[in-house]
């Protein structure tokens, strides 16, 4: 199951309004990174090199029995090995809605069609069952605000929240202190060397991909 991906999306949406807490660029790249981490902790990926320039290779193409992860393997399959940043971009495309639909199927969210300014079609995804995401936010807050030790699952989520600068949007507290603690957690010794190497590559790649996309959009808008 794509647990990191699904839990990350739960954290990045407002419970009541059903709107994303980050911009679409950050959301999609975070999802792409989360899928890579879900594959990594299932021993499907190997990383060679450091940071966004690291190259990721699929080590096992056998079906995962999860449509989201199997689709991710298919996307990566034609590009062996692939730079970590490129892998994030590949898995960011057309993935957001399938993940949200998975959460709808689980009874955690609902699709709500609406209109912006009275005429622009839009879709919101408010929470139906708030229990799981409330528990997740509490676990993240315990680590970021109270200094509790992070297990691998929470540490992976925090590493991605840190990559898209969303810590303060998920839990309350001073932004600078939350980011410092999140960085400490993201670089902690909570996983084996292989997984940790992949995590560092993915985290760096998500941050770089978001920054590059934002810079390109700013340049285009200013020309």
Q: Strands 112-116 and 120-124: what pairing?
A: antiparallel
Domain-located, residue 78: yes
Indicate which CATH number applies to the domain containing 84. 1.10.3630.10
Joined together, the tokens standing for residue 18 give 């059903």
pLDDT digits (tens, 9 = 90+) for 134-174: 999 999 999 999 999 999 999 999 999 999 999 999 999 99
The neighbour count for residue 125, using CB atoms within 10 Å, is 24
Q: How far apart are CA 70 and CA 81, in angstroms?
A: 17
Domain-located, residue 196: yes
Residue with tokens 């790649």: 205
Q: Strands 82-83 and 120-124: what pairing?
A: unpaired
Element spanning 87, H or E: helix 84-92
The verdict on pTM exceeding 0.85 is yes
Domain-located, residue 89: yes
Angle between the N-to-C axes of helices 131-144 and 152-163, in degrees from 0 to 180, rounded to the nearest 10:
80
Domain-located, residue 14: yes
Domain-located, residue 162: no
Residue numbers of the domain that contains 113? 3-129+191-213
Domain-located, residue 83: yes
Query: What is the number of structural domains in the chain?
Result: 1
Give Rg (Cα) of the chain: 17
Domain-located, residue 105: yes
User: Which among 94, 107, 89 is positioned nearest to 10, based on CA atoms?
Assistant: 107
Query: How would you write the pLDDT of the chain (223 residues) with one tens digit per residue?
Result: 669 999 999 999 999 999 999 999 999 999 999 999 999 999 999 899 888 888 999 999 999 999 999 999 999 986 679 999 999 999 999 999 999 999 999 999 999 998 776 668 889 999 999 999 999 999 999 999 999 999 999 999 999 999 999 999 999 999 999 999 999 998 888 877 778 888 889 999 999 988 887 776 666 555 4
Domain-located, residue 142: no
């Amino acid at each position: 199951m794509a647990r990191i991906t699904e839990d990350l999306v739960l954290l990045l949406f407002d419970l009541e309004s059903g709107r994303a807490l980050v911009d679409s660029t950050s959301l999609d790249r975070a999802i792409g990174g989360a899928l890579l981490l879900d594959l990594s902790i299932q021993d499907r990926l190997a990383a060679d090199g450091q940071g966004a320039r690291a190259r990721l290779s699929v080590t096992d193409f056998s079906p995962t029995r999860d449509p989201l992860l199997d689709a991710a393997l298919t996307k990566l399959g034609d590009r062996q090995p692939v730079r970590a940043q490129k892998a994030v971009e590949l898995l960011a495309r057309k993935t957001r809605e399938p993940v949200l639909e998975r959460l709808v199927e689980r009874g955690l969210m609902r699709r709500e069609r609406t209109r912006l300014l009275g005429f622009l079609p839009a879709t919101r995804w408010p929470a139906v069952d708030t229990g799981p995401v409330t528990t997740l936010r509490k676990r993240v807050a315990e680590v970021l605000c109270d200094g509790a030790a992070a297990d691998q699952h929470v540490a992976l989520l925090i590493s991605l929240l840190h990559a898209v600068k969303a810590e303060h949007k998920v839990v309350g507290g001073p932004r600078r202190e939350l980011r410092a603690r999140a960085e400490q957690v993201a670089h902690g010794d909570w996983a084996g060397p292989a997984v940790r190497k992949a995590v560092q590559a993915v985290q760096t790649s998500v941050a770089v991909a978001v920054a590059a996309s934002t810079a390109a959009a700013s340049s285009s808008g200013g020309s």
